[in-house]
């Protein structure tokens, strides 16, 4: 494995994801309001969004033929 390629990919992805909207909103809200409720809200929203994504994906898998997806 080429460690230079792995390292450069890691750095590139780290820098690309550094200032996404969720992170900026979390920092802004945590600056203005108590940190624990903000973090709890962020985790709750993340959980709900991921559960919705899994549910939609499972429904699409069940009702769409595999050839239509691929």
Model-level pTM greater than 0.85? no
Delimit the domains of the chain by residue range: 21-69
Taking CA atoms, 45 is separated from 1, 34, 61, 66, in Å, by 37, 17, 24, 31
User: Which pLDDT score, from 0 to 100, does residue 2 have?
Assistant: 85
Residue 23: HSE in the Cβ half-sphere, 13 Å Cα cutoff: 7
- Render pLDDT for 29-58 as a digit per residue (tens, 0 to 9): 999 999 999 999 999 999 999 999 999 999
């Amino acid at each position: 494995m080429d460690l230079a390629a792995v390292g450069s990919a890691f750095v590139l992805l780290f820098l690309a994801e550094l200032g996404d909207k969720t992170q900026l909103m979390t920092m802004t809200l945590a600056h203005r309001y108590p940190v624990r409720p903000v973090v709890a809200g962020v985790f709750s929203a993340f959980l709900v969004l991921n559960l919705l994504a899994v549910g939609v994906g499972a429904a699409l898998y069940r009702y769409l033929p595999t050839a239509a997806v691929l």
